[in-house]
Structure formats: C-alpha cells, structure tokens
Amino acid sequence: MADRIIVTGGAGYIGSHVCVDLLSAGKSLLIIDDFSNSSPEAVRRIQELAEGDIRLLKSDLADPAQRERIIDAARDFRAQGAIHLAGLKAVGESVTEPERYYRVNLGSALTLIDALKATGGKLIVFSSSATVYGDRNKSPVDETGLLGPTNPYGRTKYFIEEMLRDLHVSDPGWKIANLRYFNPVGAHPSGRIGEDPNGVPNNLFPYIAQVAVGRREKLRVFGDDYDTRDGTGVRDFIHVCDLARGHRAALDHLAREKAPGVVDVNLGTGLGYSVLEAVAAFKRASNRDIPYEIAPRREGDIAEIYANPSKAKALLGWTAEKSLDDMCADHWRWQRENPTGYGE
C-alpha cells in the first residue's frame, strides 16, 4: 500500500482537490508548496473539508538551498510515493522566460526524485498534460498519439515524462504514472476550494467566471474561423474532482501492481465542447450575462483536441462522471462565494 504520500503543489488548484480526495480515502499527506501561486488559506480549507493527517512544508523544490530540508522532511515523513504537481504553468510566460521554466519545472522534479530515493518510496504520479501531444493528432487522441509540444511549458512536461522513463530504466523498481490532463475546470462542490489565478486569467473558465461575477467586462473569444462546429476552439473540459479521483486511481494502481513500469494515461471525458458552448453552459449555470467579443486567434492554439479516455478505464478503472453543467455550476459556486479567490 501507498498510504504516506508527498503532494508537491498541494495547495494549488488541482493539488487542493487531490489532497481532499486522498485524505478522504485515508492517506497521510506531506504537502510541499512554496505558495508562489497558491495560498496557505487553501491548506486550511483542505483541512476543513477532510479530516486526516497533513503535514505542510513551505519550500521551493527548485531552490538548491532548500534541497536538504526537503529530503529530510520526506525521510522524516517516511514517504511511500509522491504526486508531483508543483511547477510553473503559464504557456505565454514560458515563451518569454524559457530558462525559468526549465530551471523550475525540471529542477523541482529532480529534487523530488532525490527525496524519494532517500525514503525508498519509488512511486510517482506526475501531472503531465495533453499539451505533450502538440498539434498533429486527430481527436480523440489516445496515448499512442504523436508527441510534439509547441511551447516551453509543454516541453517541460514532455521532458519530465522522459526523465521518469529513464529513471525507470535505471531502476525498474520505480513505478510511474504520467497523467495527461485535458482541460481541468470546476471546483469542489462545497464552494470552499477552487482556482484562484494570479492576475488576468489565461484560461477560459476562470476568465468566464470573472466576467460572470463582474470583475471583468467581457470575454475575448480567440478565433471563430476554426474548422469546428461553430468555428471556435473545441476542448475536453474535465471536472477537477474527477481529475483528483484519477490521481488516486493511478496511485492505487501503481501500489497494487508488482511491476507497472511507466504508464501514460489520458485524463479526459472523451467529449469535446466549443468555447461558445462552454460560454452558453456557464450562462445557464450562473444565470448571469457573459458578454463576449470575437478576437483574433491566439498564437499556438489548435482547433480541436479531446481525449480517448479508454486506457484510464481499462487500466485504472476510472472514468469521468461529471457533466459540463456540473463543471459550470461548481465553478460558479466557488467564484460567487469567493469573488476574490482566497483573497490576500
């Protein structure tokens, strides 16, 4: 069994939902987070939503000066594995500051590997992304799709996947799951935890939510001349609680199997919705107007991508259960009840 788990980036958007899910399943957690894009308030709320054993280490995994401290904490915790979510994630920023993205994302993964080596817990569930597929696949994309990320952020995800494969070659005792997320949205149904982006949101749902709540004037829809149903981009939106459950399914799979090796798994619903369909669904859920204008295509965007999620079902026994309406209702509840997020 793997019951003592490090969650890096555990205070973040996906991390906070993963922590609630794992605690509810009886796991003990060591959260490592530097709060550079998250809040200690999220950890407080995780504890409010789920009882259980949490330790918190405020540390930057990419800072060499903190490496020993992190290794000591992992050893002291007797970690049996990790869910690795810490990292920088803004695509545009990664294009202007590539070295920072490589240093932070690759450096953090390496420190985590060192920490796990110190504890003997050779198990990692890694937060990868559908962005590793690049733009040359026809949807639905399965795990054999062509890889080819188109920006530095995506390449850090791809390189970490490869690094973990090499780690497994060097020592087949390692058990690895690369979880390729599609578009995580929504929030915990309690309305207590959710996405709290720094500054102007890059992603569609947080932007829509801030328009609905009146924090921003209107959404810009990036392109309405794609070769899709209504001309706008099509994505596989997945409820963050389904995604969180997928991490637990992956963890349990790795723990249970004697030699699972390295598994790459899509976490998506298998359904594609367009930007305008998402706007309409959010409007229904919130009963608010979502003004928008059509803007030029955003550089680097592709017309359409959605998952073939059958491997997750066959291997992990996991499928997404929540609908687009659930995603919008829960995202809206979080936004309405926390109009300024965790608010510092």
Q: Name the residues that contact ligand UDP, by CB under 6 A.
A: 183, 202-204, 207, 219-222, 233, 235, 275, 298, 301
C-beta of 28: minimal distance to ligand UDP in Å?
Answer: 33
C-beta of 259: minimal distance to ligand UDP in Å?
Answer: 33
C-beta of 204: minimal distance to ligand UDP in Å?
Answer: 4
Sheet holding 304-305, edge to edge: 273-274, 234-235, 304-305
Alpha helices in the chain (DSSP H): 13-24, 40-49, 67-77, 91-96, 98-119, 152-170, 204-212, 240-256, 275-286, 310-311, 324-337
Residue number with CB closer to ligand UDP (159 or 292): 292
Residue number with CB closer to ligand UDP (204 or 271): 204
C-beta of 341: minimal distance to ligand UDP in Å?
Answer: 17
Report residue 202 as tokens.
């890059």
Query: Is 153 assigned a catalytic role?
Result: yes
3-state SS string for 30-64: EEEECCCCCCHHHHHHHHHHCCCCEEEEECCCCCH
- Are the C-beta atoms of 179 and 127 separated by less than 8 Å? yes
Residue number with CB closer to ligand UDP (73 or 204): 204
What one-character-per-residue DSSP string does 206-234 give? HHHHHHHTTSSS-EEEE-S-SSSTTSS-E
Report residue 60 as tokens.
């930057």
**Integer Cα distance of 147 and 130 in angstroms:** 9
Catalytic residue (choose from 133, 153, 158, 207)? 153
C-beta of 275: minimal distance to ligand UDP in Å?
Answer: 5
Residue number with CB closer to ligand UDP (298 or 311): 298
Residue number with CB closer to ligand UDP (3 or 301): 301
What DSSP state is assigned to residue 141? Answer: B
* Catalytically active residues, by annotation: 153
